[in-house]
Structure 1
C-alpha cells in the first residue's frame, strides 16, 4: 500500500496524475492510511488536504508541460509549487518534529489557505496558457496584476506554514517582472500577426475557439447519430457539374470538382458505416467536429456530406493546385522561391495553431496533406486521423508516416498499448519540423532509406542533412527546423513560438510580404423591442457556471477524517476541521443550508473568493441568517474582483435591483462583460440583449450581440436560443444553429 511519501516521490508528476486523478477520495485516504500510525492523531485532519495538494500540484506540472502561451509565467509559478511540494515532503517525513504544528488551529487554517491558493494558481495557469482562457483578461495589465498577487500570496502562505522555501527576493521579483513583460509582448505580437481564424479583424481572440471547444464537448457526449448527421447533410440536388470542365476536375479517382451554391467544391467518396454501429457514431462525430473547424482559414473547409450517383461523399472546398507535395514535385527549385516557401510555411503554421488552440491534433502533418488554392494559400487537409488532445490515437500504416514520426513514437512501435506513449502536440511540432525540411528541399525526408534504416537513424538522434547555401535566411530557417525536431519533446518549442520565429524571418527578408487580412461581412441592423433585460434566477444564472448547485464537481471530494473518541488523558485538543467547499456546495444542493452556511462562512474567513461569493449569496437571499443585501453586495464585489464569474454577474445586478445601491452604468457594464468573458451563460445572454437592443443607452453592436448570444446558446441558455431564432427569421446572419 502506497504511503504519503511514495505518492510525493513522483518527480515529474506523470505517474502521480495517472494514479491519483482517477482515484476516489476514499481510496486516496486509504493510500495515506499507513502514514497515520506514524503521524498520530494530530496529522489526521491534514491528510485529505495533502491529497488535494498532491493532485493540484500534478495538474500544475501538466499545465506547464503543455502550455501553448506564456511559458515563462507558467514556469515561474511551476518552480514555486515544486518548492512547495518539496517542503510538504519534508513536513511529512518529519512528522514527529512537526507534531506541535499539526495540533494548532491556525496552522490548519493556513494549510486550507494553501490548498485554495494552489487551486487559484492552477486555474490562472490554465487560463494564460491557452488563448481561450487568456481571452477573459480584458487587458494585459490584468494578467500582470494577477500574477503578482498570486506570487505575493504564495510567499505569505509559505511564511504562515513555516515552510523552508526561499521567499522571492528583489532580484527574483525583477526576473518575474521581466518574464511577464516578455510573455505579454510575445502574445501581443502573436495576436497581431497570426490571423487564420484565431483572431478577429482587430487582432482580438476569436470566440470561435471557445465555440469549437463547447461543440466538441457536446458531440463527445451525444449518443444520437441522427442529430449529429443533421448538422452536415447537403441535399444532392445542391451539387452541380461545373460550367467550365477542366482537365483536373477528377483527382485520385475518388475526388471530383462540383459546384455548391456557385462555389467550386471537391466531392470525395466516403465509406459511411451503418449509423446504428459504434463506427457509424464515431464517423458522425468526427464529421461534426470537422464541420466546426471550418472557421479555421488555413484549414480546408468542410461543407458536409451528400450523395452523388448513389455514393456517399464528403464535400470540401476546392483546391485548384492540389497537394503541396504534388506541386513541389513538378516545380523546379528555381521556380519555387524562398519567399513563397516562407509564406506557405506560415500558412501551414497558422493551420496547426488553429487546431492546437481548439485542442485538436492533426496526427499526419506532411506536404501530402496540405492543399494549395489557386492564389497559393496553403490549407491543412485529410483529417482522417485527427483527434482531441486527450483522445486515443488511431492505428496507421507506419510506412507512409515514418519519415515524419517523432522519435518518442518510433521508440515504442510494435509494443503493447499499455506501453505506448501518447501522441501530443510535441509530436506534431516534430512532424512540422520535418515538413519544413521537406518544403525547403522539395522532397520526402530520408528518401531511399528503408523503414528500419529510418528508425535506427532517428533513434540514434540523427536527422536529415541540409543541402542549401547557408545565407542568413537559410540559417534562420535551419535553426527553426532543428528546434522543432529535437529528440527531447520538452525542448521543442510550441507552435506559437515557431510562428513568431517564422514571422520574424519573413519580415526581415521579405518586408513587403502580404499580411493576411480577413474582413467578415457586416450583418444588417435588427430591432427586437419585445426582449427585455432579465434579472437572473439561480437555476438560470449558474447552470454550467463554475462551482454551482447545478453542476457536478470535477474536483476530488475528499471526506474528512473522523478523529477517534477523546479520552481524558489526551494532551491536545484536535483542530476543528472544515469540510471542503465542494462538500458545502453539495450540502446547499441537498438543502442542508445550515451545514452549507457554516462551510461558506469558515472558508470566507480564510479569504477563499468562491466561499466569499457563497456567503454573499446566503446573505442576499436570507438563508440561515438574516438578509443583509448591502453586506452581500460588498461580498459579491470582493469575489468579483477576484475573478468569480457568478459574483461578477450578481454584483452587476445588485446595482439594478437593490434599494440603497446606486446604479452606475459603466460599473454595471464592466462587471457584466467580465462575467460574460468568464463564461457565465446568463451574463452572455443579458450582454447580448444590451448590445442588440441598445439598452441602458449603450450603442448597438450587432456583431458582438450575436457573438455572445451564440456562446450563451451553446451553453444551453434557452432564451439565447429563442433570440437567435428570432434574429434569423429577420434575416440576420447568426451562423449555423444546428449545433445549438
Structure 2
C-alpha cells in the first residue's frame, strides 16, 4: 500500500467554529449582568447562572446568523423559532428561581442543562454553515443537510422535555412544515448553484474554492501593516505595455483612461495617485490593490492585472471594456434598440458580480450603472472598487452626492451625524442600491433626476420611490416586483442577493429561455397596458416577507504528537464534578492528564462532540487509561459525523495500518475529503498528495490536487508551500503563489 504522510494531524480546523466572523457579546459581559443575582440566589441556583449567560450569548449569535443568512433562510427560520421559544423558557426560569430551587438541586437536571448548552452551540454552528456557501460546502450531499436538521430538531425537542421547559414541542403539522421548508431551501440552493456561475461555482456546478481563497487573503490583508509586502507582486514592467496595433475612436475615454496592449490582449490603463507607502493612505491603496488582485477569478468583476508606469505616470492596468460603462451605453442607445431581453441579461450579470462579492465577504459600496462596464460581447462587469470594504471593515467618510440617489434610507437617515449615530453599511444597503440600478437600467436614466439632494433625502425617507413608466405586461410585472422588493424601506424585508438572482433567473427562463448574444433581433415580452406605478400604490404580488415568516511528516501510522486543536471558550462554572471543556484542554497542555481525562469523559457522556473527540484521542494514545484503539475509532467516527474536522481526519487515518481496524478506501477518502472541506490544513495537504500522486489507487487529478494544496498553503501549511513551488518549477499551473 502506498504511503501517505500525515503532517500536523492535530492542527486547528478552520471550519469547526465559524463564529469568528460574527460580532458577539462577550460572555464575561453577560455574566456580569447576573452578578447581583448570584448574591441573592440560593446555593443550588448558582451553578446555573453562568450557564444561562452562555445560553444568552449563543441565542444572540443564532439570531444574528438568521438575520444575515444568505441561503436556506426558511431552514434557518425554523431553527430560529425553536431557539426563540427556548429563550422565553430561560427567561421564565430566571424569574422563578425560588419556585425551581428543588429542580436546581438535581444533578441530572444540571447535566441536562449542560447538554442544552452544547446543543445550542451545535445549532449555531449548523446554521452558520448552511446560511453561507462557504459553510454549506462542508455537506457533500443535500441529504446530509436534511439529516442534520432533523437530528438537531429531534435533540432540541428531547432536551426541552428533559428540562421541563414549557415550550410548544413540534407537532406533526409543524414537522411537515419544517420538511417542506428544508425541501424548498435545498431546491433553491440547487437551482442557484446550477445557474449562478460567475466564479462562484465550477464548471460542474460545485462551490468554487476560490471563494475561500479570497476570504483567507482578505483576512491577511486586513491584518497586514506593510504596504511593501502587500503590493510588491503586482508590478507590470512598462515595456510589456504597448500601443494597440489598431486605432479606435474610444482608445482614450478621458484624460485618465487609455487602451493599451498587454500580452496580446486589450487592457485599460488608468492613472492613479500612489501615496507614500509608509503613510496610512499608502497602506490603504496597497490594500485596495491586493483586494482587486484577489477578485480576478470573479467572472463578472472587471479583471485587475497590476500597476505600472506609462509616460512617467503611475497607472493601474485593467481588463478593457470596449463598450464603456452601462450608463454610457444606455444614454447612447434608444429604448427600442435596448430590449428587455438584453437588459435582463445584463441585470443578471451585475447580480452575479454582487453575489461573488458577497460570497467572499466584500461589499462594493457604490452599486449603479456608472460602475458597471460592458465588454464587446455584452458581458456586464462590476468596476470601481475604490470604496469597497470587507463586511466588518469600517466605511470611509466620503462625499456621497454622486451616488446619493442609490443610497439606502437607513444610510440617508444618519447623513452628517456623529460616528456614534451612524449605522453600518450592510448587504441590505447593497440590495437597495441594486434595486435602484434595476430601475435605472429599465428606464435608461438616473433615478430622481432633477431632484436636489435634500429633495431626494426627504422623498426617500418619506418611504417614496421612483415611478415606473413602462408597458405593464407579465414580464414587466415580474421585473417591477423584484425592484420593489429590493428597495423596501425596512432592511430585513429586502431579499438576499441569491433570492434576487433566483427571481431574475426565473424571469429569464420564462420569457427568454434561449441564451443569445445581443447581435440578434430580440423578442419583446407581451404587454397589456401602460402604467405609472409608485411605492404608494399597492405592491405587485407577495414580497419576500415570507422569508422571515498539525508538525512533522510520518508514515501512515498516526503520530503521537501532543499538540491539540483549539476549541471555543466555554463560559460556565459547573459543579465540581464537571469542569469546563476548555479547562480540561488547558490541563492537557499543562501535563495534567488525569484532570483532563475526567473532563473529557464527563462531557463526552453529555454528547459533546468535541469532548467525544478528545476522549477518543486519549484512548488512542493511551493517556491515563489503557489504549483502546477500536473504541477510539468509534468515538472519532461519532465526532466526525458531528462535523469535527480533526475527528474526520483522525477517523480516516484510523483505517490505515491500524491493527484490528479494516481499511476501507471509500470511507477513507470520504472522511479525508470531509475534513479537508471542513478547513483542516493537514487534511487538505494529504488529500492533495493523494490526487497529485495517485496514491491508494486513486486516479490522479492535478486540478483538484492543486486546489487543495493552495488552500493548505494559504493556512500556512509549510509542506503545501514546498510542494506548490516544486510543481511550479516543473511547469504545472499552480496559479499565483505571491499571496500564499
**Same fold? TM cut 0.5:** yes
SS of residue in 2 equivalent to 1:250:
coil
What is aligned with 1:80?
A: 82
Structure-2 separation of matches of 1:68 and 1:447: 33
Structure-1 separation of matches of 2:358 and 2:43: 48
* Number of residue-to-residue matches in the alignment: 687
What is aligned with 1:560?
A: 573
Residue of structure 2 aligned with 1:342, choices 327, 341, 344: 344
Q: Is structure 2 residue 594 aligned with structure 1 residue 591?
A: no
Cα contact 1:533–1:689 (8 A) shared by 2: no
What is aligned with 1:431?
A: 433
1:209-608 correspondence runs (5 A): 209-514=211-516, 537=559, 548-549=564-565, 551=566, 555-558=568-571, 560=573, 575-576=575-576, 578-608=578-608
Structure-2 separation of matches of 1:432 and 1:274: 35
Change over 3 Å in CA distance of 1:229–1:427 after alignment to 2: same
- TM-score, length-normalised on structure 1? 0.90
Cα contact 2:54–2:572 (8 A) shared by 1: no
Structure-2 separation of matches of 1:391 and 1:360: 9
Change over 3 Å in CA distance of 1:202–1:44 after alignment to 2: same
Cα contact 2:685–2:709 (8 A) shared by 1: yes
Residue of structure 2 aligned with 1:21, choices 5, 20, 24: 24
Structure-2 separation of matches of 1:186 and 1:270: 43
Change over 3 Å in CA distance of 1:274–1:75 after alignment to 2: same
Residue of structure 2 aligned with 1:64, choices 47, 66, 69: 66
What is aligned with 1:640?
A: 640
SS of residue in 2 equivalent to 1:186:
helix
1:152-173 Cα shifts (integer Å, max 9, x gaps)? 0000011111111111010000
What is aligned with 1:572?
A: none
Structure-2 separation of matches of 1:201 and 1:294: 17
Cα contact 1:691–1:698 (8 A) shared by 2: yes
Structure-2 separation of matches of 1:368 and 1:632: 60
1:107-141 Cα shifts (integer Å, max 9, x gaps)? 11111111111111011011000111101100000
Cα contact 1:69–1:129 (8 A) shared by 2: yes
- How far residue 228 of structure 1 moved from its aligned partner, in angstroms, is 1.1
Q: Which runs of 5+ in 2 are unaligned?
A: 1-19, 519-552
After TM superposition, the structure 1 stretch with the greater mean CA deviation from structure 2, 283-292 or 728-737, is 283-292
What is aligned with 1:201?
A: 203
Change over 3 Å in CA distance of 1:19–1:677 after alignment to 2: closer
What is aligned with 1:92?
A: 94
Change over 3 Å in CA distance of 1:283–1:583 after alignment to 2: farther
Structure-2 separation of matches of 1:61 and 1:20: 12
Structure-1 separation of matches of 2:517 and 2:242: 34
What is aligned with 1:528?
A: none
Structure-2 separation of matches of 1:219 and 1:80: 38
Change over 3 Å in CA distance of 1:380–1:634 after alignment to 2: same
SS of residue in 1 equivalent to 2:198:
coil
Cα contact 1:39–1:99 (8 A) shared by 2: no
- How far residue 697 of structure 1 moved from its aligned partner, in angstroms, is 0.7
- How far residue 537 of structure 1 moved from its aligned partner, in angstroms, is 4.5
What is aligned with 2:132?
A: 130
After TM superposition, the structure 1 stretch with the greater mean CA deviation from structure 2, 33-42 or 331-340, is 33-42
What is aligned with 1:723?
A: 723
RMSD: 2.0
After TM superposition, the structure 1 stretch with the greater mean CA deviation from structure 2, 223-232 or 330-339, is 223-232
What is aligned with 1:565?
A: none
1:165-176 correspondence runs (5 A): 165-176=167-178
Higher relative contact order (CA 8 A, sep 6+): 2
After TM superposition, the structure 1 stretch with the greater mean CA deviation from structure 2, 633-642 or 152-161, is 633-642
- How far residue 93 of structure 1 moved from its aligned partner, in angstroms, is 0.4
1:627-673 Cα shifts (integer Å, max 9, x gaps)? 22121111111111111111111111111131111111111111111
Structure-2 separation of matches of 1:454 and 1:440: 20
1:335-391 Cα shifts (integer Å, max 9, x gaps)? 101110000000000000000111111000000000000011000000011111111
Structure-1 separation of matches of 2:557 and 2:230: 34
Q: Is structure 2 residue 149 aligned with structure 1 residue 147?
A: yes
Cα contact 1:45–1:577 (8 A) shared by 2: no
Structure-1 separation of matches of 2:702 and 2:114: 46
Structure-2 separation of matches of 1:241 and 1:671: 54
SS of residue in 2 equivalent to 1:356:
helix
What is aligned with 2:104?
A: 102
1:579-612 Cα shifts (integer Å, max 9, x gaps)? 2222222222333322221211110010111100
Change over 3 Å in CA distance of 1:589–1:241 after alignment to 2: farther
Structure-2 separation of matches of 1:583 and 1:249: 66
After TM superposition, the structure 1 stretch with the greater mean CA deviation from structure 2, 277-286 or 259-268, is 277-286
SS of residue in 2 equivalent to 1:467:
strand
SS of residue in 2 equivalent to 1:334:
helix
Structure-2 separation of matches of 1:250 and 1:19: 45
- How far residue 538 of structure 1 moved from its aligned partner, in angstroms, is 7.0
Change over 3 Å in CA distance of 1:556–1:620 after alignment to 2: closer
Change over 3 Å in CA distance of 1:58–1:472 after alignment to 2: same
Structure-2 separation of matches of 1:537 and 1:294: 40
Cα contact 2:51–2:573 (8 A) shared by 1: no
Structure-2 separation of matches of 1:308 and 1:366: 30
What is aligned with 1:609?
A: 609
Structure-2 separation of matches of 1:314 and 1:424: 28
Cα contact 1:584–1:599 (8 A) shared by 2: yes
Cα contact 2:652–2:669 (8 A) shared by 1: yes
Structure-2 separation of matches of 1:411 and 1:584: 50
- TM-score, length-normalised on structure 2? 0.90
SS of residue in 2 equivalent to 1:511:
coil
SS of residue in 1 equivalent to 2:316:
strand
Cα contact 2:478–2:507 (8 A) shared by 1: yes
What is aligned with 1:522?
A: none
- How far residue 103 of structure 1 moved from its aligned partner, in angstroms, is 1.1
Change over 3 Å in CA distance of 1:539–1:356 after alignment to 2: farther
- How far residue 247 of structure 1 moved from its aligned partner, in angstroms, is 1.7
After TM superposition, the structure 1 stretch with the greater mean CA deviation from structure 2, 306-315 or 413-422, is 306-315
Structure-2 separation of matches of 1:20 and 1:633: 36
Structure-2 separation of matches of 1:506 and 1:733: 37
